Amino acid sequence: MSGPSFRIGLGRDLHRLVPGRRFLLAGVEIPSESGELGHSDGDVLAHAVTDAVLGAAGLADIGQLFPPSDAQWKDADSMVLLRRAFGLVREAGWRLSNLDCVVVCEKPKLLPWRDAIRASLAAALDVEAADVFVKGKTNEKVDAIGEGLAVDATAVCLLERAKP
């Protein structure tokens, strides 16, 4: 196959945090006083990873594939959307080499949930958990994230050409 053997991708997302919503990261529900507001389930990490893998393959962005104006994506399970998007990436001839992510929120603490989050992403992206890493950070009480009003996620991935 011609063309490059590797492609890098970057995704970023932010959701407001409000009481009465679930706090989801890559489909893992974390006990929290507030959760992500969103048209879908609001899973900020799933959305950042979806944009990273789609962008690496040069295919689309999450808003193009799953427009919020389309009623079928209301309250959608964002991990189903990620699997669907990654299916397109695979059809285009790519596999995931590795994925690295940062989630920024003041609370809850993410470390106890990290292994579950890594396993969830690895299963969706057809790699081992060792190929996926997730770091939790606070915003040192600065700005809206620091006040607990929002959660932010960034994901970087490397795709490599799948063996034919």
Nearer to Zn ion, 80 or 129 (CB): 80
- Residue 42 beta carbon to Zn ion: minimum distance, rounded to whole angstroms: 6
Residue 55 to residue 49: CA distance in whole angstroms: 10
The residue at minimum Cβ distance from Zn ion is 47
Give the residues lining the site for Zn ion (CB under 5 A). 13, 47
Beta bridge partners, 96, equal 159
- Residue 44 beta carbon to Zn ion: minimum distance, rounded to whole angstroms: 6
- Residue 153 beta carbon to Zn ion: minimum distance, rounded to whole angstroms: 8
Nearer to Zn ion, 7 or 47 (CB): 47
Nearer to Zn ion, 63 or 112 (CB): 63
User: In the chain, at which residue ranges do the beta strands (DSSP E only) sit?
Assistant: 6-19, 24-25, 28-29, 34-36, 94-104, 132-137, 150-161
For 16, list phi and psi in degrees, rounded to 5: -65, 150
